[in-house]
Structure 1
Amino acid sequence: MKQIILALAAAFFLTGCCNIEYKGKELSPLQSSKAVVLYFSPNQYPKNSAQDVLGDAKISGGTNWTTQELQAKLKSFAAEKGANGVLIERIERVPAGEARPDQVKNLPSKTWVVGDNSSSASKHFREDMTNYSKKPEAQEEIYRIVIHAKLLNVTEKR
């Protein structure tokens, strides 16, 4: 039972988490991430504004994350660091390995008998897994989404 809980926890943390790497300075935190504006080009900066780059950030997430969710997480992170702007420099889909389609969709395979608790179940399970893994089309790539950005302090020029 303990091993099952550890395996589930490991699976959650491998696919369910996002990772933020940041190199830069910090200001006083903002009260809300709503005050943080996402920019996809320097042309989008407000006219008559100055941009102070606080630092470089990289956020990545596994198969459970969408780009929009990662951007929202990045906005929250920027608010914590005191940035009121985020310049998205690049969004990538990076291969992170391969998995069977039923693992990606979190569904049981057609050949697996989930509720079988007979003494021969483990033997059949091993045979099914061996046969399943021999199929060349049995694997599909898994990607991580990686967003590279600069955290900004955007102020009005006087």
Structure 2
Amino acid sequence: MIKSWMVIGAVTLIVALASNLITPSDVKWFKRLQRPKWLTFEGAIPIIWTVVFICGAWSAYIVWEKDPGSAKTWWLMAFYLLVEIAIVAYPPVMLRLRSLKAGTIVGGIGSILGVILALTVWPISGWAALLLLPYVIWSPIGTYTTWEMIHLNPKDE
């Protein structure tokens, strides 16, 4: 029998891999952009996102196990999926459009959705809500960084 954590983990992984739908020219464009001087943790960003995805999947698993298969739980799983889609949309949207403004908008939408999800999940499980904190904290940092990069790269707004 397939366990719920396996399905949630697989969906998380498949959706996360969609953020790799970028081309070498997209990466080249991004690498040439100036970054804020305080951005000293760029090498840790893949690790941070890995933690965010693991915590998000674990949160979804906890919520699923509280009331498996109910209509409310299915709606919450759809909301988790929406938040993850917002997360993974950031790189391809920003890179394909070559627009830091588009990245800032997508990041901002994702940040807001993450906060709404955490608040929605809180009454169901405090642990599930706490597991969303890495995203709730990190997403605005990433969005702010992208916004700051607009000022450093006005041609790439």
What is the TM-score of this pair, normalised by structure 2? 0.23
**Which structure would you say has the larger Rg?**
1
Larger proportion of helix? 2
Larger proportion of strand? 1
